[in-house]
């Protein structure tokens, strides 16, 4: 059975995931470095990991399977989850795939380098209603496709 794993510390679409997962009656794991308020549901489990570097990522990768969905904006975590054949979505609705992850990692490294050298100052664009809508659509479509397979 499909499970959903949320890299929750900075995820802006947790409420949306809870609603969609609840409709599909799927277990959802909310993985973070600190406690956060989550809805009371037998289908939602909070996992608080040690504060160590990548501890939440490590927990997700240890538990995810090829039938599962990971929600993250963390590109290295997306890469690791893809290596386990999981489906990976960003909170903006962009799917990470085996074909796109290499470019995503390269762009992440390039932007990090440009920020360190002062060539660029900003980080990411603000999260928009359009991003939220695209995410909801992509999550629903992804879960429907997994149900059929």
CB-CB neighbours of 32 under 10 Å? 21
Paired with 96 in beta bridges are 88
Which letter does DSSP use for residue 75 in this model? H
Give the CATH number of the domain where residue 29 resides: 3.40.50
Percent of the chain with pLDDT over 90: 70
- As a whole number of angstroms, the distance between CA 45 and CA 136 comes to 21
Q: pLDDT averaged over the chain?
A: 89
**Mean local confidence (pLDDT), 10-35:** 96
Supply 86's token pair.
């999981």
Note the pTM of the prediction, 2 decimals: 0.86
> How many structural domains does the chain have?
1
In which domain, by residue range, is 18 found? Answer: 3-148
Q: What is the largest CA-CA distance in the chain?
A: 48
Which letter does DSSP use for residue 11 in this model? -
* pLDDT tens, position by position, 87-120: 999 999 999 997 776 565 566 555 566 667 777 6
- Cα 105 off chain centre by: 15
């Amino acid at each position: 059975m499909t499970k959903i794993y949320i890299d929750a510390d900075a995820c802006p679409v947790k409420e949306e995931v809870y609603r969609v997962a609840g409709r599909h009656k799927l277990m959802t794991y909310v993985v973070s470095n600190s406690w956060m308020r989550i809805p009371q549901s037998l289908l939602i489990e909070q996992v608080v990991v040690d504060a160590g570097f990548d501890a939440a990522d490590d927990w997700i990768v240890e538990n995810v399977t090829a039938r599962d969905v990971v929600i993250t904006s963390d590109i290295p975590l997306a890469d690791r989850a893809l290596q386990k054949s999981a489906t990976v979505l960003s909170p903006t609705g962009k799917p990470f795939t085996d074909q796109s992850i290499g470019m995503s990692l390269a762009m992440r490294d390039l932007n990090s380098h440009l920020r360190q050298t002062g060539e660029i100052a900003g980080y990411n664009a603000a999260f928009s209603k359009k991003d939220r809508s695209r995410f909801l659509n992509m999550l629903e479509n992804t879960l429907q496709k997994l149900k059929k397979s």
